[in-house]
A = this chain, B = another copy of it.
C-alpha cells in the first residue's frame, strides 16, 4: 500500500484532533494499520507522520491551490481560481485547517517553521499576482496577508458558529477585495 493512500487519512485525523488528540489508537483504527506497521512506515512516530502530511500539503498547495498563479491570465481570473480551489480544499467551510490546528496545540514549536513556510509561500504567491497587477510590493504583501487572515478567520468562525456561511461569504468577496484599486480590475471605476 503506497504512502499516498493513507497520508490523506492522516491529514484528516490530525486536522480533526490536533497533534495531541490524534492518538496512535485512532490513527491505527483510521488507517487500518497496526501500531507496529505504523512505526515501520514512520519510524519517527507521530512527528514523522505530521512531517509527511506537511510534505503532502506543500505539494497540494503548489500543484493545486496555487497552480497557474504565475501564468499569463488576468490577475482577477487567477485569484478567482485560487479562491475556488481554496473553497474546495476546505469543503466550503466545513473543514478546519491543519496549519491552524498545529499552531494551536502543544506541538506548536515543533512544526512552527514548516507551517510558517507554507503560509509564506501562499502569501507570496498572492502578493506576486498583485505586484504584477501594479501594486507596490509592500501593499501587495499586506493585502495578501489580509487574504490569509480572512480565510483562516472565516474557518475558525465557521467552526465556532457551526455554519459555513461566514467562510462562503468571505471567499465569495475575496477576489474583488484583493483587486480593489488595481489596473486590470477597474471594470467598475468611479463615475
Binding site for B on A (CB under 8 A): 16-22, 96, 99-101, 103-108, 112, 115-116, 119-120, 142, 145-146, 148-154, 156-157, 159-162, 166, 169-170
Chain B residues with Cβ below 8 Å from A148 are 153, 157
Chain B residues with Cβ below 8 Å from A112 are 160, 162
Chain B residues with Cβ below 8 Å from A106 are 16-18, 20-22
**In the complex, are the beta carbons of B105 and A96 less than 8 A apart?**
no
**In the complex, are the beta carbons of B157 and A170 less than 8 A apart?**
no
Considering the complex, give the chain B residue whose CB is closest to the CB of A154.
Answer: B149
In the assembled complex, the CB of A100 is this many whole angstroms from the nearest CB of chain B, namely 5
Q: Given A142-B169, A152-B152, are A157 and B119 neighbors across the interface (CB < 8 Å)?
A: yes
Bound-complex Cα distance A162 to B148 (A): 14
A-B contacts besides A18-B106, A153-B154, 18 pairs, CB < 8 Å? A17-B105, A18-B20, A20-B20, A20-B21, A21-B106, A21-B107, A103-B156, A104-B104, A104-B159, A115-B160, A119-B160, A120-B161, A146-B170, A148-B153, A149-B149, A149-B150, A151-B153, A152-B156
Chain B residues with Cβ below 8 Å from A103 are 96, 156, 159-160
A149: which of B19, B104, B166 is its contact (CB, 8 Å)?
B166
Chain B residues with Cβ below 8 Å from A105 are 17-18, 20-21, 101, 104-105
Considering the complex, give the chain B residue whose CB is closest to the CB of A101.
Answer: B104
Chain B residues with Cβ below 8 Å from A17 are 20, 105-106
Chain B residues with Cβ below 8 Å from A159 are 103-104, 108
